[in-house]
Amino acid sequence: METMNDQPVAMPRIGDAAPEFKALTTQGDIHFPNDYKGSWVILFSHPADFTPVCTSEFITFASMEEQFGQANCKLVGLSIDGIYSHIAWLRTIKEKIEYRGMKNVEVNFPLIEDISMEVAKKYGMIQPGESTTKAVRAVFIIDPKGIVRAMIYYPLSLGRNFDELYRAVLALKTSDEFGIATPADWRPGDDVIMSPAGSCNAAKSRVEGKEEGLHCQDWFFCTKKIDKETILKKILKK
Ligand code: BEZ
């Protein structure tokens, strides 16, 4: 196993159980992922407190917290800073910083202190080619059973697109609920993708148009309509 300062450097994989940890956060102690069982959760890291790209990200994410909550998805942040730095930064954000018309934004989701880098190392958030002291912008989407379902990594200089993270959560939930896949740039209401036919007979019946509700351009490329209301009723809270 790869090591950094003689400590193992891990990299979770899609489909793995989310690595467990206990940590102090701006909202008190958490035991991850146990405390989040039954909810989707986005665990994300940022390089450092009091930095501008991170500040724009926190304002944006905090402004969307209710929207993510409607999708039963909680947010948990992390950086390699101490709790007092976190508290001071979040207070400054609320008191002084405006970004794209968003101001007086209170960050109510937990921000983990990780001075020891223990959590960052477990989640492959330290990528030495980028920095040995700052976490990259990592995103882990973890399902209600504590399984890592998606991972996205960005470098220090690149702020994330939070609409894409929301889209990814909705797409994963839709895939689970309806047993389908979602194509490029999919949004609720767009056609979904059926998994390819698993036998010659199934392929034949698909191209002959025998499967009700499917639109098949070829045996392996079949789509289906699921209207937006049907999807949102299933995946969003009332
Ligand atoms: C920022 O958040 O602004 C930032 C952090 C680390 C390196 C570059 C930019």
pTM of the predicted protein model: 0.95
Residue 184 above 90 pLDDT? yes
pLDDT tens digits for range 12-40: 999 999 999 999 999 999 999 999 999 99
Of all residues in the chain, what percent carry a pLDDT higher than 70?
Answer: 96
pLDDT in tens, 115-124: 999 999 999 9
Nearest atom within ligand 1 for CA of residue 134: 6
Are 235 and 71 within 8 A, CB to CB?
yes
Q: Same CATH topology for 2-160 and 179-235?
A: no
- Provide the CATH number for the domain formed by 179-235 in this structure: 3.30.1020.10
DSSP per-residue letters across 134-162 = S--EEEEEE-TTSBEEEEEEE-TT----H
Collect all residues with Cβ–Cβ distance below 8 Å to 133 and sequence separation of at least 6: 80
Distance CA 172, CA 193 (A): 13
Q: Which two tokens stand for residue 187?
A: 């949004």
For residue 211, name the pLDDT band (cuts at 50, 70, 90): confident
Per-domain residue ranges of the chain: 2-160, 179-235
Nearest CA to ligand 1 atom 1: 53
CA of 228 to the centre of ligand 1 (A): 38
More confident residue, 194 or 5: 194
Q: Which of 54, 73, 216, 222 is catalytic?
A: 54
Does the Cβ of 97 fall within 6 Å of ligand 1?
no
Which CATH number describes the domain made up of 2-160?
3.40.30.10
In angstroms, what is the span from residue 13 Cα to ligand 1's centroid? 26
Asked if residue 47 has its Cβ within 6 Å of ligand 1, the reply is yes
What is the model's pLDDT at position 238?
67
* CA 91 and chain centroid, separation: 25
The finding on whether 5 has its CB within 6 A of some atom of ligand 1 is no
Backbone angles phi, psi at 89, to 5 degrees: -65, -45
CB 53 near ligand 1, within 6 Å: yes
Instruction: Write down the pLDDT at residue 8.
Output: 59
**From the CA of 158, how far away is ligand 1's center (Å)?**
8
What mean pLDDT is predicted for residues 192-219? 92
Give the pLDDT band (50/70/90) at residue 224.
Answer: very high
- Establish whether 137 is an annotated binding residue: yes
Task: Assign residue 6 a region (left: φ > 0; alpha: ψ between -120 and 50; beta: otherwise).
Answer: left
Does the C-beta of 80 come closer than 6 Å to ligand 1? no
What is the 80 CA–ligand 1 centroid distance (Å)?
Answer: 13
Would you call 54 a catalytic residue per the annotation?
A: yes
Instruction: Answer yes or no: are the C-beta atoms of 119 and 12 closer than 8 Å.
Output: no
Residue 216: pLDDT above 70? yes
Specify the amino acid at residue 73.
C
Range 226-238 average pLDDT: 95
pLDDT at 7 > cutoff 80: no
